[in-house]
Structure 1
Amino acid sequence: MTTPLSPTARSTVRRGSSRARTDRAELYAVLDAGLVGHLGVVLDGAPVVLPTGYGRVDDTLYLHGSTGAAILRAATAGAPVCLTVTHVDGVVYARSSFHHSMNYRCAVVHGVARPVTDPAERERGLAALTEQLAPGSWDATRRPDRRELAATAVLALDLTEASLKVRTGPPGDDDRDLAAPVWGGVLPVRTVFGEPADDPLLPPGVGVPARVRDRVSPAG
């Protein structure tokens, strides 16, 4: 069992509230299926939103980047942040331009990121980040050395203040448009992995490992 999402003033879905989800397991599923999030923070009085990798361990998201990155320095100093992960599942074609839309799953997390300084937690967070992007790679590759760790900021963002919004299904056309001879429906969108491309500097005899090959989509 998981704790349901408990909206705060910031995380309450107001527009299209019928699309809000309150099952924390659904939030986990959307986050776990993503490859990139967008991290927002206010820098020098202006909003800045940048793409970033992330990884989840239970109710915590881990983020990382260069210790010299301004957005991470601001987050480390206690600036409020917002992280968004969105999946586009389909383009919704309607009979009117007004009702064109998208089917999507969107998670939004608010909070204050916590700098991770404990060595064991830093390793756990970096492992989660690696496994989110490239499953199986943390144990198969060289771990970060002391110099690399010193140049890397690791932040933890709690999932307590989070919302999830999902749209599915056909267009929501007005009754007056339903008889129009215009196609309406959904064009599905999916992300697929293609054939792996070898690094030209690979030593002879190093083939594509199962952890990579297993991710290739059948149509890729």
Structure 2
Amino acid sequence: MPDTAAYESTERTVPTRNRERAAYDHAVVHAILDEGYVCHLGFVRDGAPVVLPTLYARVGRRLYVHGSTGSRPLRMAGEADPGLQVCLTVTHVDGLVLARSAFHHSINYRSVVVHGTARQVTEQAERAAALDALVDQVVPGRAQDSRPADAKELAATAVLRLDLEEVSAKVRTGGPNDDPEDESLPYWSGVLPVSRAYGTPVPAEGLDPSVGVPDYLTAAR
């Protein structure tokens, strides 16, 4: 893929509403993807839409998702030629926007939508690297601090690759857009911030007391 600073917009990646919120810069798209690890993967099966939540990882301009070798999208991507047409989405909620009128209530968010063809990863080195990336996407540093998958586990796990080609971000920030005639109404108006937080790590039963909490978990909190 050409080394450019932004993804090219297409008919499918230009929103019909609030086009000013759309972004195609690599920095914006990648930052949103890198902050998360749960996506929703949409595809069509037997003429009907299916949307599944799953884990993902970004490596450069490519996404990986994984699942059981018997799962629908993994099986369909392996059978279809030339792959499985999908739509993958990632969303972060940053705040609840409360306006004086019910109509103008909104959400501050950052989202990414990816359209493309997902294909099964069969090359062993790429598949191993993708599985490490999936672990590290959730908890950075964890892949090197755990036993890698053995042959039996690898045989039961499939990986899909989705290149970042037709992709866009959409972002809303700021406060409510109250109508001027509503500004004197006696209702609270503003933003309730939303953030993700991690609790104190809980050790597994039987864990050797000498095994302390790793630094990457402390950093995650």
Residue 59 of structure 2 is matched in structure 1 by 57
Residue 30 of structure 2 is matched in structure 1 by 28
Letter in 1 for 2:129: R
Question: How large is the Cα RMSD of the aligned pairs?
Answer: 1.2
Deviates more, 1:121-130 or 1:98-107: 121-130
Q: Among the aligned pairs, what percent are the same residue?
A: 55
Q: Tell me, what secondary structure is at the counterpart of 1:165?
A: strand
Letter in 2 for 1:158: D
Unaligned runs of 5+ in 1: none
Q: 1:84 aligns with which of 82, 85, 89?
A: 89
Shift of residue 120 of structure 1?
Answer: 1.2
Q: 2:186 aligns with which of 177, 181, 190?
A: 181
Residue 134 of structure 1 is matched in structure 2 by 139
User: When the two structures are aligned, how many residues end up with a matched partner?
Assistant: 216
Shift of residue 201 of structure 1?
Answer: 2.6
Pair 1:107 & 2:109 matched: no
Pair 1:74 & 2:76 matched: yes
Q: 1:205 aligns with which of 199, 206, 210?
A: 210
Unaligned runs of 5+ in 2: none
Q: Is the 8 A contact 1:13 1:163 kept in 2?
A: no
Residue 39 of structure 2 is matched in structure 1 by 37
Rounded to whole Å, the distance in 2 between the matches of 1:30 and 1:207 is: 31
Shift of residue 2 of structure 1?
Answer: 4.6
Rounded to whole Å, the distance in 2 between the matches of 1:74 and 1:178 is: 53
Shift of residue 79 of structure 1?
Answer: 2.4
Rounded to whole Å, the distance in 1 between the matches of 2:7 and 2:190 is: 32
Q: Is the 8 A contact 2:84 2:119 kept in 1?
A: no
Shift of residue 202 of structure 1?
Answer: 1.2
Task: Please report the TM-score for the alignment, with normalisation by the length of structure 2.
Answer: 0.94
Residue 155 of structure 1 is matched in structure 2 by 160
